């Protein structure tokens, strides 16, 4: 794979929901490419389909028609089990409400994706420590989510998203629940992961200030993208 | 897969305290089911043990043909004479046959625990009567004198009823008696009886010279056939010949079966209730963790570990319920005395016995409740849609 080849290619992608007799079209015949190493902010009005798009990219939802390719491999038609393996290997998810397991410590939460690998216990511990250090949570490894602030929980969640070293991070409103300065810290961490570790990041946000941390901003409206140059 | 399953299972179990109300309700409802079942089984096995302990193979009991119980039987003096000469009956130290003619009437006395009057068996027996009870021993005092209004009292009677201490005068019906001894037959039904001389009962209760039953020590258990054949061939004897064990089995069998047959349906009915409870609790458990389970799926975990985890949770809760139920039953009931109406309207005192076998059955029932109650919620856990990661 060379630097110019796209990480994602969406071909003729459509997503429709039927509610009773009505059919709601979220996207229709959407084409799009995302290059490796990009940091994209997706903005748009509520209900425009931002989360839906992220779900399709992350392989946790399937399109009504069209194709999703990742590194040249079509993923939208993989079996459930293969898709789960694909997610484990390639995608890291970051959610608005962190989605940590409340009964597990930070380290145990971060370790979860590694339980799906063949790594030894020792190797897993090392990786967990590295991931927590990267997000600046090395000294909170034994804390439970309930003992951490929102920003700290999101950092742990980011550590969990990167611990298995996926190529892409998919973040849905990662700062939606945080105050401005905490949000900026999280965004700087994401920028760092993009710049230094080469993670491709696709982030959905309502917040123009958050979006400004990305390399590109895409506005989704009525199933179409318009690109805005950086302010 | 194993690592995944263990991780999800542990995750699940650790989160039980967050849902402790529901989980506790599940444990307790299952404990209750097991408790009820074991209570009945303990009653049945305690009763059976008491009754079994009473019957010997080498004691024959003879009663009027067709009379199911001693109370309904009568044996005339002439018949007793004929029996004294019958074959198969062992001889005592003086060479006389080991035979005891017995007459059994109902008396009543004050129960210590309830303060109400209950029926008691007053048995008049012949000289050899006590010898025919294999574990008979005098615990205190002496035997009654023939012809005197003296009583020896079974240990259970003394324990459960007022006024039977050694030396006390007791009023039974119109007559006054003196307690001269306390006996034990090792916890058998006879411990619930009061004994005196046959002649005195015949006299005070105006029963003439007839008796109800004749007991005899057999030369060997097999000689029951010899005796039975002899009695059958003697036209002047219209008597049924049974070993004492068979006689008790016949009269107690009904009670044991009744207790067991009342216990199981009730326990199963309650188990269905507990099943609904477990089902409900497991649904609530899965629902409460919908977002967690979906998040695990998004990370790449499979659905099967979620299924196993939910099943393990259900089984653990049920197993705990089973242990609590069995433990509580054992603590509360094992060895506790109870009494029931024996044959002939008298109280048979017996101890509840929580046997290990019954406890195991109770715990198995609990686990079955857990498996059935957890199954559908566990399938639901395995099929939580991935999009539930966004649920709040
Ligand atoms: N399971 C579903 N069934 C029917 N309609 C759905 C379903 N999921 C999403 N939709 C609809 O699809 C549209 C896009 O939803 P989506 O969640 O992608 O929007 P969004 O851009 O993320 O909005 P927000 O900014 O509020 O998060 C909405 O109109 C939503 O109601
Ligand atoms: Mg959304």
- Greater pLDDT, B255 or B269: B269
Q: Check pLDDT > 90 for residue B342.
A: no
Give SS3 for A225.
strand
The span from the CA of B144 to the CA of B177, in Å, is 11
For ligand 1, atom 25, name the residue with the nearest CA. Answer: A46
Ligand 1: residues with CB < 6 A are A 17, 19, 26, 44, 46-52
B295: nearest CA partner in chain A: A99
Residue of A87, A93, A103 with shortest CB distance to B14: A103
What residues of A are in contact with residue B389 (Cβ under 8 Å)?
Answer: 60, 93, 95, 99
Instruction: State the DSSP string of B152-204.
Output: EEEHHHHHHBTT-STT-EEEETTEEEEEEEEEE-TTSGGGGEEEEEHHHHHHH
A61 to B387: CB separation less than 8 angstroms, yes or no: yes
- Greater pLDDT, B17 or B314: B314
Token pair belonging to B149: 């209004």
What residues of B are in contact with residue A60 (Cβ under 8 Å)?
Answer: 297-298, 386-387, 389
Q: Is the C-alpha dihedral spanning A82, A84, A86, A89 positive or negative?
A: negative
The span from the CA of B238 to the CA of B242, in Å, is 13
Q: Check pLDDT > 60 for residue B202.
A: yes
Partner residues linked to A73 by β-bridges: A70
Residue of B11, B292, B300 with shortest CB distance to A87: B300
Mutate: best of A55, A58, A84, partner B, most B CBs <10 A: A84
Provide the pLDDT confidence category of residue A231 given band limits of 50, 70 and 90: very low
Provide the pLDDT confidence category of residue B113 given band limits of 50, 70 and 90: confident
Which residues hold their Cβ within 5 A of ligand 2, which is an ion? A 51
Measured from the Cα of A48, ligand 1's closest atom is: 21
Q: Assess A55–B contact: CB distance below 8 Å, yes or no.
A: yes
Which of A170-184, B59-73, B164-178, B337-351 is least confident? Answer: B337-351
Residue of A93, A103, A172 with shortest CB distance to B15: A103
Q: Check pLDDT > 60 for residue B331.
A: yes
A113 to B390: CB separation less than 8 angstroms, yes or no: no
Token pair belonging to B117: 């009057």
For ligand 1, atom 9, name the residue with the nearest CA. Answer: A52
Q: Check pLDDT > 80 for residue B334.
A: no
- Which residue in the block uniquely carries the two structure tokens 């049920």? B318
Q: Assess A58–B contact: CB distance below 8 Å, yes or no.
A: yes
pLDDT (tens digit, 9 = 90+) per residue, B115-149? 888 888 899 999 899 989 878 999 999 999 999 99
**pLDDT at residue A230 in the model:** 46
Q: Assess A62–B contact: CB distance below 8 Å, yes or no.
A: no
Burial class (CB in 10 A: 0-12, 13-18, 19+), A98: buried
CB A26 within 8 A of CB A16: yes
Chain centroid, CA A190 distance in Å: 11
For strands A39-43 and A22-35, give the pairing: unpaired
State which fold the A8-228 domain adopts.
Rossmann fold (3.40.50)
**Chain B, 282-301: which have a CB under 8 Å from a chain A CB?**
291-292, 295-301
ipTM above 0.90, yes or no: yes
pLDDT (tens digit, 9 = 90+) per residue, A10-65? 999 999 988 888 998 998 888 999 999 999 999 999 989 999 999 999 999 999 99
| Residue A54 alpha carbon to ligand 2 centre in Å | 9
Mutate: best of B6, B17, B299, B388, partner A, most A CBs <10 A: B299
Which of A30, A43, A46, A52 best tests ligand 1's pocket when mutated (most atoms within 8 Å of CB)? A52
**pLDDT at residue A57 in the model:** 96
Give SS3 for A90.
helix
The span from the CA of B39 to the CA of B361, in Å, is 12
**pLDDT at residue B391 in the model:** 81
Q: How far is B279 from chain A, CA to nearest CA, in Å?
A: 23
* pTM reported for the whole predicted model: 0.71
B300 to A104: CB separation less than 8 angstroms, yes or no: no
The domain locations on chain B are: 2-52+251-390, 66-237
Which of A47, A97, A173 best tests ligand 1's pocket when mutated (most atoms within 8 Å of CB)? A47
- Could you tell me what percent of chain A has a pLDDT over 70? 96
Provide the pLDDT confidence category of residue B343 given band limits of 50, 70 and 90: very low
Which of A188-202, B108-122, B200-214 is least confident? Answer: B108-122
For ligand 1, atom 24, name the residue with the nearest CA. Answer: A46
Q: Check pLDDT > 90 for residue A105.
A: yes
**pLDDT at residue B54 in the model:** 63
CA A192 to each of CA A153, A161, A173, A217, B140: distance values in angstroms, whole numbers, following the listed order: 18, 14, 18, 18, 94
A51: nearest CA partner in chain B: B390
Q: How far is A231 from chain B, CA to nearest CA, in Å?
A: 31
């Amino acid at each position: 794979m060379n630097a110019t080849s796209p990480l994602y290619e969406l071909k003729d992608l459509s997503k429709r929901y039927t509610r009773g007799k009505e059919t709601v079209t979220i996207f229709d015949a959407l084409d799009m490419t995302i290059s490796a190493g990009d940091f994209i902010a997706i903005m748009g009005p509520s209900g425009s389909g931002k989360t839906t798009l992220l779900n399709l990219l992350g392989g946790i939802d399937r399109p009504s028609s069209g194709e999703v390719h990742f590194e040249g491999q079509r993923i939208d038609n993989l079996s459930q089990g293969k898709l789960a393996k694909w997610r484990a290997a390639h995608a890291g998810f970051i959610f608005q409400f962190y989605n940590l397991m409340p009964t597990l410590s930070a380290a145990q939460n971060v370790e979860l994706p590694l339980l799906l690998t063949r790594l030894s216990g020792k190797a897993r511990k090392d990786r967990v420590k590295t991931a927590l250090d990267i997000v600046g949570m090395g000294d909170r490894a034994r804390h439970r989510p309930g003992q951490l602030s929102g920003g700290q929980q999101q950092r742990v969640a980011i550590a969990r998203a990167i611990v298995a070293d996926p190529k892409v991070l998919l973040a849905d409103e990662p700062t939606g629940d945080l105050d401005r300065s905490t949000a900026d810290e999280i965004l700087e961490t994401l920028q760092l992961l993009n710049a230094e570790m080469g993670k491709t990041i696709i982030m959905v946000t309502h917040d123009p200030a958050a979006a400004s941390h990305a390399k590109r901003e895409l506005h989704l409206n009525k199933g179409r993208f318009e690109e805005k140059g950086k302010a | 897969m194993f690592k995944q399953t263990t991780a999800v299972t542990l995750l699940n179990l650790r989160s039980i305290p967050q849902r402790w109300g529901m989980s506790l309700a599940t444990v307790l409802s299952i404990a209750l089911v097991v408790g009820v079942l074991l209570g009945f089984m303990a009653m049945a096995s305690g009763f059976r043990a008491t009754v079994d302990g009473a019957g010997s193979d080498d004691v024959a009991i003879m009663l009027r043909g067709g009379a199911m119980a001693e109370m309904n039987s009568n044996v005339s003096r002439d018949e007793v004479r004929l029996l004294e000469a019958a074959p198969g009956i062992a001889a005592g130290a003086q060479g006389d046959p080991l035979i005891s003619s017995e007459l059994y009437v109902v008396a009543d006395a004050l129960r210590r625990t309830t303060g109400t009057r209950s029926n008691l068996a007053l048995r008049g027996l012949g000289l050899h009567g006590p010898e025919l009870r294999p574990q008979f021993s005098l615990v205190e005092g002496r035997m009654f004198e023939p012809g005197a209004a003296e009583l020896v009292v079974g240990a259970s009677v003394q324990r459960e009823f007022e006024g039977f201490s050694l030396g006390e005068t007791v009023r039974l019906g119109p007559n006054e008696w003196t307690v001269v001894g306390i006996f034990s037959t090792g916890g058998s039904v006879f411990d619930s009886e009061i004994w005196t001389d046959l002649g005195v009962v015949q006299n005070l209760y105006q029963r003439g010279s007839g008796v109800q039953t004749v007991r005899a020590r057999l030369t060997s258990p097999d000689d029951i056939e010899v005796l039975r054949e002899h009695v059958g061939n003697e036209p002047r004897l219209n008597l049924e010949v049974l070993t004492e064990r068979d006689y008790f089995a016949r009269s107690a069998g009904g009670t044991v079966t009744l207790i067991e047959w009342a216990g199981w349906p009730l326990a199963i009915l309650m188990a269905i209730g507990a099943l609904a409870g477990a089902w409900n609790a497991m649904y609530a458990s899965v629902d409460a963790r919908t977002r967690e389970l979906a998040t695990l799926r998004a990370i790449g975990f499979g659905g099967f570990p979620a299924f196993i985890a939910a099943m393990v949770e259900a089984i653990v809760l049920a197993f705990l319920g089973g242990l609590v139920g069995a433990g509580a039953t054992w603590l509360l009931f094992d060895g506790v005395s109870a009494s029931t109406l024996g044959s002939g309207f008298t109280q048979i005192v017996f101890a509840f016995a929580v046997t290990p076998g019954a406890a195991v059955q109770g715990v198995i029932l609990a686990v079955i409740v857990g498996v059935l109650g957890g199954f559908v919620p566990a399938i639901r856990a395995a099929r939580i849609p991935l999009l539930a990661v966004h649920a709040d």
